[in-house]
Structure 1
Amino acid sequence: MPSLFDPIQLGAISAPNRVIMAPLTRGRGTKDHVPTEIMIEYYRQRASAGLIISEATGISRQGLGWPFAPGLWSDEQVEKWKPITKAVHDAGGRIVAQLWHMGRQVHSSVTGEQPVSSSATATDGQAHTYEGKKPFETARPLSLDEIPALLDDYERATRNALAAGFDGVQVHGANGYLIDEFLRDNANFRDDQYGGSVENRIRLMVEVVERVVSVAGKDRTSIRLSPNGDSQGVNDSDPAPLFTAAAKALDEIGISFLELREPGPEGTFGRTDVPKLSPEIRKVFKGPLILNSDYVTAEEAQAVIDAGTADAVSFGRTFLANPDLPARLKAGAPLNPMNPATMYSQGPEGYTDYPALETQDA
């Protein structure tokens, strides 16, 4: 079996190891969702990852409700992403852009409009806004005649990502956001061709991925899904047939890799007793499969590779606090603890000031 530190081919991307950096929202952009200079150093520091999957990045103003998160719909955003991707490449790294539409997780105080979703539903709890926490709002269903414009937004964001120097794109289809809201039956009550049957509920996901592939190519397109258990209020009554059908459709398209966020009963951020579906998905998706959620040690990651369940593992919060994570894991070195208070704050604290191992040893 391959080692966590062996190279892997992810479509057109040759990754030098299987320690993947998961997408991590950090909120260091401007209020207009433009990347900032501090982000250059943050991503450069983490270039030793086999592949960096960028923080979730908005495809449109409608779809981006997270304060200070970056987007990819304007020329200004493209220009400010360019030095970030260049810094990663100059440091020997690889980076893809994760394309994000937040669906009903958007708040109108951020976007200036009512959130949209598969159906008229709302998330429990409160949204992050520029004015602090506010109750989530009820979304309006996307109409059929709005779907083409949504696909156009994904196409534009893909073109912009490539123009900005990204090595590819990942569609965010997980975590209770728009695509997930179409996939799962406790959020999708539509009676048209995008609702009801499994075939209909995976339709938007397939159309989005096909549109992205038409620009980036299948060997530079991937997707993230969260198949087991509740995710920000989105769930499914029978997830196995749904997500195996989704994975089979993605396999037929031939995307470069599939990433699964699969929490377990002991998860730190989100937990569930719903069994992990990666073994079933593995049977129908033949491309590289990357697993995510609460992996911390090299031993934990190597175990799923040895079992044949995964080809690589993506690390999230561990990468946040350890910019040189592959070296630390390989050496069995101690890990920096994460400071939750600075996860979404502005400025360098808890962002670019986590020390590298060589600095600590000096």
Structure 2
Amino acid sequence: MKEDILFENIELGNGLNLENRIVMPPMSRSKASDDLIPTDAMADYYARRAETGLIIVEGTIVSPMAQGYPNSPGLYNEEQIEGWKKVTDKVHQNGGKIFAQLWHCGRVSHPFYLEGKLPLAPSAVPLQGKVPRGKDLEYGMPSEMSEEVIFSVIGEFKQAAANARKAGFDGVEIHGANGYLIDQFLHWETNQRTDAWGGTPEKMSQFLFKIIEAVKQEVEYVGVRLSPVGYLHLEENEEDKVISDYYLKQLNQYELTYVHNGSIDDKPYQYIDGSVTQYIRSLYQGIVIASGGYSAESAREMLSRGDADLVAIGRPLIANPDYIERVKTQQEIKPYSNEMLAELV
């Protein structure tokens, strides 16, 4: 019988071997303590899913100014490092591989989370709408980052990567997707700068590249999650394609562990060729992680076509901690429902 492509081994870089092609993507659950420290319940939650080829934990903020949601775990102080050690230890004891996702929300935040300070952004362009997760707050005008602040935030990503290594993570993913800070530099709507960090695709990409360079000084295995289309917290704009065309080609020079699609593959975009994952694959020559509404069946088809090397399976892994075993043995997959977000199961 031909081997199931979902359960083929794959090597990410030099010596990082995954047992299968299924990735647990970052899914923010807002279940850290009030001090933004990972809890024992979080350690158990991830450990139960250690059969997944690779776990990428929920967005983990790199500094107090990076927060945009309640109870998001951090990775900028010793207590948080110790909390994450409990998580990585349990996952490793169960035979899993686990990456941290380094996150800065940028303008997708509110002074409520930032001790009264304005959120940071490449340009003073406000996000419209209400802050989610139960706060009756409106997004407002962010503070345009000075060059000094830009370099300071790059340093925060570097330190968070060092902390991730100390906490026992196998690698890190840089969150450059979904309209958060790095992604804000990569779109015309949110980056209206005319200095060295804006105005052209080359300049707009520098913040991403400098963070990659800084993080790679601390951690061997570094992936990046990207949304080349305006998928979340941004207006869709086909003129952004010239920016993503540029940075996706340039990423071939950085010896990344992977590029992870942060958009949704089952939504059509008229100005790119094929799905978002296929678009990334057409320009980036390394390991690609597909994302967006895949089932085991559609994931097999996508992997068999060569559109990507790994596939992120999100909500089914929330509903089924034993998802890998269920797929292997052709058991029924319990459907996901929003009520499942209330507890870490």
TM-score grouping bracket, smaller chain normalisation:
over 0.9
SS at 1:20 equivalent: strand
Partner of 1:321: 319
Distance 1:133 1:323 in 2: 33
Partner of 1:227: 228
Distance 1:228 1:329 in 2: 31
1:47 to 30, 47, 50: 50
Q: 1:105: Cα distance to partner? A: 0.7
Distance 2:136 2:171 in 1: 34
Conserved 8 A contact 1:53-1:95? yes
- Give the structure, 1 or 2, with the largest relative contact order (CA under 8 Å, sep 6 or more): 1
Runs (5+) with no aligned partner, structure 1:
353-362
CA RMSD of aligned residues (A): 1.8
Distance 1:265 1:82 in 2: 36
In structure 2, do the counterparts of structure 1 residues 75 and 183 end up closer, same or farther at CA, with 3 Å as the change threshold?
A: same
Q: 1:185: Cα distance to partner? A: 0.9
Distance 2:173 2:229 in 1: 20
Distance 1:94 1:46 in 2: 10
Partner of 2:119: 115
Distance 2:241 2:330 in 1: 36
- Provide Cα deviations, 1:135-194, integer angstroms capped at 9, x if missing partner: 112111111111121111001100100000000000000000000000011111111111
Partner of 2:287: 288
1:30 to 33, 38, 44: 33
Q: Which moved more, 1:286-295 or 1:89-98?
A: 286-295
In structure 2, do the counterparts of structure 1 residues 282 and 5 end up closer, same or farther at CA, with 3 Å as the change threshold?
A: same
Partner of 1:132: 135
Conserved 8 A contact 1:96-1:167? yes
Partner of 1:98: 101
TM-score normalised by the chain length of structure 1: 0.89
Q: Which moved more, 1:324-333 or 1:178-187?
A: 324-333
Partner of 2:243: 242
Partner of 2:256: 255
Q: 1:341: Cα distance to partner? A: 3.3
In structure 2, do the counterparts of structure 1 residues 264 and 285 end up closer, same or farther at CA, with 3 Å as the change threshold?
A: closer
> Where do residues 129-208 of structure 1 align in structure 2 (5 Å cutoff)?
132-208=135-211
Conserved 8 A contact 1:244-1:280? no
Q: 1:335: Cα distance to partner? A: 1.5
- Provide Cα deviations, 1:74-131, integer angstroms capped at 9, x if missing partner: 00100111111000000000000000000001111112121011111122211136x6
Distance 1:100 1:235 in 2: 22
Conserved 8 A contact 1:251-1:286? yes
TM-score normalised by the chain length of structure 2: 0.93
Partner of 1:279: 278
Partner of 1:4: 6
In structure 2, do the counterparts of structure 1 residues 263 and 280 end up closer, same or farther at CA, with 3 Å as the change threshold?
A: closer
Conserved 8 A contact 2:53-2:97? yes
1:20 to 14, 23, 28: 23
Conserved 8 A contact 1:229-1:273? no
In structure 2, do the counterparts of structure 1 residues 84 and 41 end up closer, same or farther at CA, with 3 Å as the change threshold?
A: same
Partner of 2:75: 72
SS at 1:300 equivalent: helix
Q: 1:322: Cα distance to partner? A: 1.2
- Provide Cα deviations, 1:197-237, integer angstroms capped at 9, x if missing partner: 111111100000110011113xx001000122431225443
Distance 1:277 1:332 in 2: 29
Partner of 2:66: 63
